[in-house]
Structure 1
Amino acid sequence: MSAAGGGNAIWGRAEQQDFRSRVRGCLLGGAIGDALGSGAAHASLDALRQAHGAEGLTDYAVVFEQRGAITDATQLTLFTVDGLIRAQVRRDTGAWHPPTDLYRAYRRWAVTQHDWGPDERRTDDGWLAREEWLYARRDPARECLSGLGDGVMGTLDAPRNPQANGGGAVMRSAPFGLLVGWEPQLVFQLAVECAAQTHGHPTGYLAAGALAVITHSLARGEDLDSAVQKALAHLATRPGHDETTDALKRALGAVRQGMPTPARVEALGEGGHAGSALAIAVYCALVAEDIRHGLLLAVNHGGASDLTGAMCGNLLGTLHGETALPPVWLVELEGRATVLQLADDFAMEMTQGPALHGPGNSAPGWLARYPRA
């Protein structure tokens, strides 16, 4: 593939198929990890073992009155993808500021947290915001609600919630890494700028950039260890990186300490801040025998299991593609059809965008789904 930023790549058929599989794997894997983790979130390991047996949680639990229910981690990840597609479409107008397009997408998510359902009068919202199942509160981070609640967009110079170092921004940032035609430093920068819209502490936004760069390397066919090293190199250039860098280095060190155990996962910090949450996801992906093993390791601890499960699923799904995902978890996943549709739309935009829209001529159906306004 020859790529030069944002959708003007020249793709062969096999490369298109591989990319679509990785995009599907990233989004579906993240949603599966989120849904698994929602059944374990903030329960102690002892409590999980008492409730589910010696191995802890091994399957979906009933959460939000159903099995396979996703949380705000998946909701926001989907709106990240929506915003990235909209940014590409708006580029035809000469307007090119992706952080603004992502902010508008996150504001569309914020509407789903207080409205009963989609408002058909908002014709510029696009198709994702009209998905009724997304109009549900799934324990959203208060920083996401406050950062997106008043119409003032945070920036790196004036970030929202400057003390917020939790995982509410990093959990939605894997899709930035699917911009495989971009250079990694641009992927890192975009993820960081968009994370600062809700999480203004350096750990809160730099961990988002690190996840994006790791995902970017995996989507390009690199191995996970090399991807983490690349993220560490990008982090080293940024003020305030120490907490995230140290967490990732502890994850790499834990891999060399022997067989993976829940105790080693919990020693990484239980996802208490964005850096430690990312470290757990990375560690579990590095030691995973397969996706099932990695995800169960990522959710059986006493911390933010939905968050760490989602990110581990993003990484393993991007690394191995959709066909490696456990079908028994796919069939019960809430919103699977929506996730698949969005994944395929994103893959089509990135590989065949010029055939769908341009300054002079565009497919009306595409602009109805992803309006320029």
Structure 2
Amino acid sequence: MDVQDRVRGCLLGGAIGDALGAPIEFQSLREIRKHHGQEGISGYVATWRGTTGLVTDDTQMTLFTIEGLTRRTDADGVAVTDVREAYLRWLDTQEHKAPPPADRPYRTGALREEGWLYSRRAPGNACLSGLHHPFPGPSPLGTPGPVNPGSKGCGTVMRSAPFGLTAPYDPRAAFELSAACAQITHGHPTGYLAAGAFAAIVARLMTGEPLETAVHHALDLLAGHPRHEETSDALRAALALAAGGEPTPERIESLGGAWVAEEALAIGVYCALAEPSPERALLLSVNHSGDSDSTGSVCGNLVGALRGADALPAAFLRPLEGRDTIERLAAALL
């Protein structure tokens, strides 16, 4: 499998999981089963807008992460600035109905001109509020960041797969840059260390490493930073859960609701490990009480990077919103 297929798979898989989970994000497992049967959803269902295959802020922010990274230089400080400016362009898509005038330095970029992105898709409060605060730069890893220092929402993890795609042979660099950029909006160490671990796992998968091995290497990286315990414990719980027993929504829920970063990461890892079938893994990752679109996105990123775009179900790819843009940005990363 070549790198191009893994990059496309990671980004398309994440968008598929996002779109599958979006309509049931705020539903309990009991409600999901009431409306869709004991097995839950088996494919796309209509969103709150009456259309299938629509993505959320998870995919939107992932795409803007890519745009920021494709402008980066060798200086990490400049890379963080580029990513933050890309997130400010995403913020415009949440606060305007069409591209606003390019009257500020950050308002230059092809992605901001795409009208379909100007749609508010239940963005996280910390992502929104954090971008309205000045950002003096990231704090040392393991200490509270300068913006929203108490927030560890999953808005860090769901947008961070591209950091692993740009540094497939340097998981440590992926970890550190992802964690630094997560601090743009979320300052709690667990929130940004979970994002770093996710990027490091993706980086390992890009080289063909098995997922379980990649997670163990991410645990080694985490151990080098203060206040890693919540993220490390969540990943260990996911590994232990995947090691035995049939995967079920009830087992997923033992890992939490995924509204916080370490739980979203753990659930995505568990589903990708527990189900060898990409289709079943994606469906498992969304059929639970909790943040279904984010866990679907994380699982889809992992499954796609592990198995490539050709392994993703064609029925999920065809109606996927923004597919052409995702393919274009995948090519830009390469």
TM-score, normalised with respect to structure 2: 0.94
Q: Find the partner of 2:287 among 289, 295, 300.
A: 300
Alpha-carbon deviations, 1:160-209, whole Å to 9, x = none? 10110110111100110012355221111100000011111111100000
Kindly indicate whether residue 141 of structure 2 is the aligned counterpart of residue 141 of structure 1.
Answer: no
Alpha-carbon deviations, 1:81-139, whole Å to 9, x = none? 11110114xx6xx8962111111111111111111111464696121111110011100
**Higher mean C-alpha displacement, 192-201 vs 256-265:** 256-265
Kindly indicate whether residue 58 of structure 2 is the aligned counterpart of residue 77 of structure 1.
Answer: no
Kindly indicate whether residue 203 of structure 2 is the aligned counterpart of residue 216 of structure 1.
Answer: yes
1:62/1:138 CA distance change after superposition, 3 Å: same
Give the whole-Å Cα distance in 2 for the aligned partners of 1:220 and 1:144. Answer: 31
The question of whether the paired residues in 2 share the 8 Å contact of 1:38 and 1:63 is answered with yes
The question of whether the paired residues in 1 share the 8 Å contact of 2:167 and 2:173 is answered with no
**Higher mean C-alpha displacement, 227-236 vs 38-47:** 38-47
1:181/1:168 CA distance change after superposition, 3 Å: closer
Q: Give the 3-state SS of the residue equivalent to 2:273 in structure 1.
A: helix
Q: Give the 3-state SS of the residue equivalent to 1:54 in structure 2.
A: coil
Give the whole-Å Cα distance in 1 for the aligned partners of 2:102 and 2:251. Answer: 51
Alpha-carbon deviations, 1:297-320, whole Å to 9, x = none? 100110000000000000000011
Q: Give the 3-state SS of the residue equivalent to 1:83 in structure 2.
A: helix
The question of whether the paired residues in 2 share the 8 Å contact of 1:153 and 1:197 is answered with no
Give the whole-Å Cα distance in 1 for the aligned partners of 2:35 and 2:136. Answer: 43
Q: Which letter does structure 1 place at the counterpart of 2:34? A: Q
In structure 2, the partner of 1:99 is: 80
Pairing of 1:76-225 with structure 2 (within 5 A): 76-88=61-73, 97-119=78-100, 121=102, 125-153=108-136, 155-156=138-139, 158-180=145-167, 183-225=170-212
Alpha-carbon deviations, 1:133-169, whole Å to 9, x = none? 0011100001001111244355225421011011011
The question of whether the paired residues in 1 share the 8 Å contact of 2:168 and 2:203 is answered with no
The question of whether the paired residues in 2 share the 8 Å contact of 1:147 and 1:154 is answered with no
Alpha-carbon deviations, 1:239-276, whole Å to 9, x = none? 11111100000001101231111111111112142111
The question of whether the paired residues in 2 share the 8 Å contact of 1:110 and 1:149 is answered with no
**Higher mean C-alpha displacement, 251-260 vs 208-217:** 251-260
How many equivalent pairs are there? 327
Structure 1 portions without partners, runs of 5+ = 1-16, 348-373
Give the whole-Å Cα distance in 1 for the aligned partners of 2:163 and 2:288. Answer: 27
Pairing of 1:294-373 with structure 2 (within 5 A): 294-347=281-334
Give the whole-Å Cα distance in 2 for the aligned partners of 1:188 and 1:73. Answer: 19
Alpha-carbon deviations, 1:216-253, whole Å to 9, x = none? 00011111011000110011111111111000000011
Q: Find the partner of 1:59 among 43, 49, 67.
A: 43
1:207/1:68 CA distance change after superposition, 3 Å: same
1:153/1:29 CA distance change after superposition, 3 Å: farther
**Higher mean C-alpha displacement, 36-45 vs 71-80:** 36-45
Pairing of 1:219-258 with structure 2 (within 5 A): 219-258=206-245
Give the whole-Å Cα distance in 1 for the aligned partners of 2:56 and 2:7. Answer: 20
Q: Which letter does structure 1 place at the counterpart of 2:29? A: L
Give the whole-Å Cα distance in 2 for the aligned partners of 1:182 and 1:200. Answer: 27
Q: Give the 3-state SS of the residue equivalent to 2:167 in structure 1.
A: coil
Q: Find the partner of 2:9 among 5, 25, 46.
A: 25
In the TM superposition, what is the alpha-carbon distance from 1:64 to its structure 2 partner?
Answer: 3.8
Give the whole-Å Cα distance in 1 for the aligned partners of 2:129 and 2:76. Answer: 27
TM-score, normalised with respect to structure 1: 0.84
In structure 2, the partner of 1:6 is: none
Alpha-carbon deviations, 1:12-44, whole Å to 9, x = none? xxxxx8111111111110000000010221211
Give the whole-Å Cα distance in 2 for the aligned partners of 1:317 and 1:247. Answer: 22
Give the whole-Å Cα distance in 1 for the aligned partners of 2:6 and 2:154. Answer: 23
The question of whether the paired residues in 1 share the 8 Å contact of 2:152 and 2:188 is answered with yes
Give the whole-Å Cα distance in 1 for the aligned partners of 2:137 and 2:60. Answer: 20
Query: Which structure is larger by alpha-carbon Rg, 1 or 2?
Result: 1
Q: Which letter does structure 2 place at the counterpart of 1:244? A: T
